[in-house]
């Protein structure tokens, strides 16, 4: 029967008055218990990876991100935590705790594959990295990571491969250096992407590259800068795979605010899915259709020689001729 109106982390409506309390202090993630997946159906552990299904568990190594990309809400959450004195939103799990987590999940679920849940796996100190390699050499279960081009070195990639790294994911996002820096706050160079992919070639490993289209202030020419960069990387390393996503504004991100300021968000906007094949922004109908067509043919433009580009342009269309051309060209990739 105590009053709850002043508890941090709660907004309380009482007698037609709303009490808005500050967010609660963020917990020390190293003091949290290991995640318990035992309540889930066993079928949910099986995930596809390069054409096969593996029993996979997730191992958390951090929360938040050290970077401040404008399309991500992480930087706003870091600022919110700072303003309200909640502690650091970006938090790393101690390497000893990570190793404990791995053994706990192995004993509990006997996984065939591990995904390390962190925005940038290789944004760790040499001390932590060396400890991970030393301890994971005793485990050697296949695993998959996400990281950034800037963090790749040959020594680290080879060390990870030796202890079981099967695959990695890297974010290209957008291929024009100036646009990427000015609009997305991603300051890596295309040269760094080439160097990173070249290291992967030397190590004999592929990667999935994530890309976005339909960004505010983007146009067909800028989208083709993304296609051209991916195509160049594919020419260097034919083990690469390419993901393309239609940009979705996340509430709280800097780019969301920019979309709102420029009248690009519908009045009733809410995120339904981050896997749309049609832009949610207030673009002209013709441009939205063009974006859907470019998303559909993205891999054709990357993987087929430029002599096919006129045919791929036809395949962008959603009419009968466009669909037939898309099916015909897709056969060339098999």
The torsion defined by the Cα of 187, 266, 295 and 248, in degrees rounded to 10, comes to 40
Percentage of residues of the chain with pLDDT beyond 90: 88
Distance CA 260, CA 175 (A): 24
Contacts of 12 (CB under 8 A, 6+ apart): 4, 5, 18, 19, 21
Nearest 5 degrees, angle CA 307-CA 313-CA 319?
140
The string of pLDDT tens digits covering residues 44-84 is 999 998 889 999 999 999 998 889 999 998 888 999 899 99
Distance CA 308, CA 317 (A): 15
CB 213 within 8 Å of CB 246: yes
Distance CA 224, CA 246 (A): 15
pTM: 0.91
Residue 274 has pLDDT above 90, yes or no: no
The CA-atom distances, in angstroms, between 75 and each of 82, 111, 243, 250, 255 are: 11, 33, 24, 12, 11
Average pLDDT over residues 204-230: 97
CB 285 within 8 Å of CB 317: no
Residue 198 has pLDDT above 80, yes or no: yes
Distance CA 189, CA 314 (A): 32
The torsion defined by the Cα of 126, 130, 133 and 137, in degrees rounded to 10, comes to 180
CB 206 within 8 Å of CB 237: yes
The β-bridge partners of 49 are: 52
What is the pLDDT confidence band of residue 270, given thresholds at 50, 70 and 90? confident
CB 175 within 8 Å of CB 210: no
pLDDT of res. 268: 83
Q: Which residue has the tokens 């690009």?
A: 264
């Amino acid at each position: 029967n105590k009053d709850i109106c002043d508890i941090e982390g709660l907004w309380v409506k009482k007698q037609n008055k709303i009490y808005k309390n500050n967010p609660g202090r963020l917990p020390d993630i190293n003091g949290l218990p290991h995640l318990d997946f035992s309540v889930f159906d066993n079928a949910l552990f099986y995930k596809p990876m390069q054409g096969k299904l593996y029993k996979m568990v997730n191992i958390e190594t951090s929360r938040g991100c050290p970077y401040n990309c404008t399309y991500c809400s992480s930087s706003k959450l870091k600022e919110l935590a700072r303003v309200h004195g909640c502690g650091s939103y970006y938090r790393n799990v101690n390497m000893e705790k990570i190793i404990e987590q791995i053994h706990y999940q192995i004993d509990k679920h006997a996984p065939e594959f591990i995904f390390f849940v962190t925005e940038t796996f290789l944004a760790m100190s040499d001390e932590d990295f060396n400890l991970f390699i030393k301890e994971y050499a005793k485990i050697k279960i296949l695993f998959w990571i996400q990281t950034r081009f800037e963090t790749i070195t040959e020594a680290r990639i080879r060390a990870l491969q030796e202890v079981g790294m099967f695959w990695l994911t890297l974010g290209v996002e957008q291929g024009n250096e100036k646009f990427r820096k000015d609009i997305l706050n991603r300051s890596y160079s295309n040269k760094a992407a080439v160097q990173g992919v070249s290291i992967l070639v030397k190590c004999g490993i592929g990667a999935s590259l994530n890309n976005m289209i339909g960004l505010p202030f983007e146009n067909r020419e800028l989208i083709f800068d993304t296609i051209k960069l991916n195509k160049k990387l594919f020419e260097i390393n034919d083990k690469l795979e390419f993901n393309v996503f239609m940009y979705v504004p996340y509430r709280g991100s800097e780019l969301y605010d920019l979309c709102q300021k420029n009248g690009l968000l519908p009045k009733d906007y809410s995120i339904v899915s981050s896997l749309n094949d049609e832009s949610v922004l207030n673009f002209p109908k013709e441009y939205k259709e063009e974006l859907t067509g470019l998303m559909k043919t993205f891999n054709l433009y990357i993987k087929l020689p430029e002599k096919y580009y006129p045919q791929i342009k036809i395949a962008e269309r959603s009419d009968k001729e466009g669909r037939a051309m898309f099916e015909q060209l897709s056969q060339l990739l098999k």
